[in-house]
Amino acid sequence: MNSLLIGASKFAVSSLRSNRAAPATRLVAARCFSSDDVSSTGDDEVKTGIIKYFSYKTQFGFILPDGVDRKSHDDSDLIFIHRNDIKAQQNADGEKFYPGLKRNQRVAFKVSPPDKEGAKCAKAYDLTMADGELVPAFQKGYFERYTKTQKAQFGDRVFQIMS
Distance CA 106, CA 154 (A): 36
Tell me the CATH class for 33-158.
Answer: mainly beta
> Any idea what the Cα angle at residue 99 is, between residues 96 and 103, rounded to 5°?
170
- Specify the pTM: 0.61
Q: Which residues pair with 44 in a beta bridge?
A: none
Q: Where are the domains of the chain?
A: 33-158
Amino acid identity at 157: R
8 A C-beta contact, residue 89 and residue 127? no
Distance CA 83, CA 15 (A): 27
Give the pLDDT of the chain (163 residues) as one tens digit per residue. 334 434 443 334 344 444 444 444 443 444 444 444 444 445 689 999 999 999 988 989 999 999 888 888 777 778 999 999 998 877 777 777 778 898 999 999 999 887 777 666 789 999 999 998 888 877 778 778 888 888 888 877 766 676 5
